[in-house]
Copies of this chain bind each other. A is one copy, B any other.
């Protein structure tokens, strides 16, 4: 029997616009899916905040997307995935896929016993979520990590690896990792893929770079295919974006993350998502 959910959209949320670097891969890998995105730009960033606050914000942000009756929700934010995935699983009535576990799985596969390094926000690294996800798959795996708080504002400002401030910052954060036996580096923040080239150049050709957003998109494909819930459409999927503040800045900065122009962005007032509880898992 055909799944009535096939034509339902994939819902994606993030603290802001970083999640668009995940959507970029989703659109490439699953071009026929409709996507609805909500960026919580009024309260961005989540990366310096505590588990309780991130969980509350993530539930409200994901909860807003339930009105579109999605077949799946993607937590396209490493901090929310690291700190709030259990809360999202418990409270939302649809499957939720975060970016940490897919990134961890790819890292273990590529690491083959050598050290895996993870970089991310203060909150993601402090949570040790990647460490736990990697050790769940490979208990003996050596893991090192570093919080790189400056990389998000560098990317948001539009700076690239050609900027000496960016290269100096990358060197400062990664020098210690380079000098250990690292074989794999996980980009544990959705902003970092925009600096991938400079990071890869600094670490050298022997280090594999894992983009958690790409791995997550492959996991979404696998999940939908396994449930026969891939879109039956033959035409290109649509994309609608919602933000809690500053649609203009989202459109302008976000298109670099998405790698295509952002057409439709709608502002969501606080009353429509703050303090609104999701309806809860029905089963």
On A, residues with C-beta under 8 Å from B are: 41-44, 48-50, 52-53, 56, 149-150, 152-154, 156-157, 164-165, 168-169, 172, 244-246, 249, 270, 274-275
Contacts and interface: CB of A to CB of B under 8 A. Distances in A.
A127 to B, nearest CB: 13
A270 B249 CA distance: 26
Given A49-B42, A245-B50, A157 B168 contact: no
A44 B46 CA distance: 9
Given A150-B165, A165-B169, 6 more contacts: A42-B49, A44-B48, A50-B246, A52-B245, A150-B154, A153-B153
Contacts of A270: 56, 275
A157 B164 contact: no
A169 B168 CA distance: 11
A43 B60 CA distance: 14
**CB-based closest 10 A-B pairs:** A153-B153, A53-B245, A43-B43, A50-B246, A42-B53, A49-B245, A165-B168, A149-B157, A50-B245, A150-B153
Question: What is the total number of copies of this protein in its complex?
Answer: 2
Contacts of A274: 274-275
8 contacts: A41-B49, A48-B156, A53-B245, A149-B156, A150-B154, A153-B153, A165-B168, A168-B168
Contacts of A245: 49-50, 52-53
A193 B144 CA distance: 35
A274 B43 CA distance: 12
Contacts of A149: 153, 156-157
A254 to B, nearest CB: 13
Nearest to A148: B157
B157 A165 contact: no
A195 to B, nearest CB: 14
A54 to B, nearest CB: 9
A42 B49 CA distance: 7
